[in-house]
Amino acid sequence: MTTTTTTTTALPRLGRETAAARARSRPAAPSGTGIVHLGLGNFHRAHQAVHTAAALAHTDGPWGILGVAGRTPDVARAMREQDLRYSVVEISPERTRITVPAVHTGALVAAEQPEDVLDALAAPATAVITLTVTEHGYTFSPRTHGLDLDSPDVRADLRGDAPARTTIGRIVRGLQRRLRLHARPVTVLSCDNLVGNGELTGRLVREFTEALPAAEREELVPWLESAVTFPGSMVDRIVPATTDTYRDAVAARLGLYDAVPVPAEPFSMWVMEDRFAAGRPAWEHGGALFTADVEPYELLKLRLLNGTHSLIAYLGALDGRETVPDSVGRPFIAEAARRVLYDEYLPSLTVPPDVDPDHYAGQLFDRWANTALGHRTRQVGSDGSVKLRQRVPDPALLHLRAGRMPHHLALTVAGYLCCVTPPPGFEPGPHAAAMADPARERLRAIVAGAAPGTGVRSAAAVRAVLESGLLGDGLTEHPEFAARVAELADVIVRHGPAGAAADALLATDGAPRPTD
């Protein structure tokens, strides 16, 4: 990473006038605000905002986006200082392309401006509420997939404490205000990597509503059923974290300083159900696909892209690799990725009729190998306690129930556990240690309690982890899976990730497995 120089920060700031003069940008903001987006992170700004800008370039309309950050104010403040402009730095080995979407009409911080956020959710002009709050932001129980009523934040939101702390609480309080104002129907559109994200979001909103006092519940429940829709969606674009490298790229190409540029790969995909209660932008002209059945696309992405991506990140981090391209450039990691994708994930899903699986897989490897983008293993590997239960259990159970051991899915879990709760005396390396995970301390305690001194090398420790609900309930019925995870974790400790990948490959091919 390079360091932003004084010369760079002394350049003219990106803004309405400078962007229009030097970058591909809309000359003016949209004519009105029709979308409130919760989660003002990089992914939203490089995905939904870009698709919306393309849609508005084709068919204009009042579809500006009011972006809402949760607690961290940096992006919102920088956007306000830049007339709500920022740049998208689209990078491939062949070229760098910089655009300025210019579709935001405001930027709020929920922790600082809670009433303004609720007013925006309730505003008559708001027709769509979109979300990118990550899997962790839905506060649901990993065991029941229902609202986590044991969460102190959920309980505070149910009491009506201000400000609202959770995404679901914020949405419901905004919908209550909307009902009182007799505003038009509205759509709540999840754009996060969750199986059945539309159905899940709707269910969590209804569960929160059912837990409210009777007077609040009785007026809101029928209105939810008649006036609010929760379509499903699938989103796909690799968007790394912002670094000074990308600020310098904007400075070099545009002669402007942008505090919050967003790097992204050229590829972008968005698939949605067309169930919008009060209209939407012409997203089909912005590259989006509408279908009656999102699930096949969703599972294709969650398993082939996200699931394989996780394995690459864990093996790469354990091998000392900072980035995904460096990781997939290692032959043993590339082969492990091919095996989990083709042998274990692909048989677990129905490929959409308009997708060629070999072409799609080839695209994935090209995307992972994008050395110009440099997606970091620590970023991809973070939050595995939330991500893996969306990716691993169902494919693993399909194979186990058919009498097959999914060795590379077991390797994914072993790699994850060695990264976030390494056995005593084992150093997973700086990139694994830097992975953020909300369950890290809880998992360490579970492992230490189940098998003191042995860590995840013990089948008892892995069983205890699975029984904690990390991957749901089904895998606890297959102790052979826990035993295989423990074996592969032990190989990682003794022979490194390359040795574990070789063990999984040999077992998959039916060849003799190595012994000490």
Q: Are residues 186 and 303 in the same domain?
A: no
Low-confidence ranges of the chain (pLDDT < 70): 1-8, 25-27, 510-516
1 is a domain residue = no
Q: What integer pLDDT is reported at residue 8 of this predicted model?
A: 67
Give domain status of residue 514, yes or no.
Answer: no
Whether residue 461 sits in one domain with residue 391: yes
CATH number at 440 reads: 1.10.1040.10
- What does the alpha-carbon distance between residue 43 and residue 49 come to, in Å, rounded to a whole number? 9
315 and 279: one domain? no
Which of 261, 290, 319 is the last residue before a domain boundary?
290
pLDDT at 470: 86
Sorted by sequence, the CB contacts under 8 Å of residue 290 that are 6+ apart come out as 271, 272, 273, 274, 283, 284
The string of pLDDT tens digits covering residues 387-431 is 999 999 999 999 999 999 999 999 999 999 999 999 889 999 999
CA distance 122 to 107: 16
**Global pTM?**
0.90
Ranges assigned E (strand) in 76-153? 88-91, 96-100, 104-109, 128-131
359 shares a domain with 320: yes
State how far the Cα of 450 lies from the Cα of 468, in Å rounded to an integer. 11
Residue 225 shares a structural domain with residue 341: no
Same domain, 251 and 393: no
How many separate domains does the chain show? 2
Measured CA to CA in angstroms, residue 180 lies from 114, 125, 161 at distances of 18, 15, 19
Q: What is the pLDDT of residue 197?
A: 95
Asked if residue 196 is part of any domain, the answer here is yes
Same domain? 366 vs 493 = yes
Same domain, 368 and 453: yes
Structure tokens at 180: 């009182």
Cis peptide before 163, with omega less than 30 degrees from 0?
Answer: yes
pLDDT at residue 265 in the model: 96
Please indicate, yes or no, if residue 503 is contained in any of the structural domains: yes
311 and 264 in a common domain: no
pLDDT for position 469? 87
Are residue 385 and residue 236 in the same domain, yes or no? no
Contacts of 425 (CB under 8 A, 6+ apart): none
3-state secondary structure 398-427: HHHHCCCCCHHHHHHHHHHHHHHCCCCCCC
Tokens of 114: 């809670």
Residues 381, 370: Cα–Cα separation, whole Å? 18
Q: Which domain holds residue 363?
A: 295-509
Examine residue 516 and state whether it is found in any structural domain, yes or no.
no
Q: At 172, which CATH number?
A: 3.40.50.720
Same domain, 249 and 383: no
Domain end, chosen from 290, 318, 353, is at 290
Q: Is 222 inside a domain boundary?
A: yes
In a domain, 50, yes or no: yes
What is the secondary structure of 345-408 as a DSSP string?
IGGGSPPPTT--HHHHHHHHHHHHT-TTT--BHHHHHTTHHHHHHHHSHHHHHHHHHTT---HH
d(CA 253, CA 243) in angstroms, rounded, equals 16
Tell which of 290, 306, 328 closes a domain: 290
**157 inside domain:** yes
Q: In terms of domains, do 247 and 322 share one?
A: no
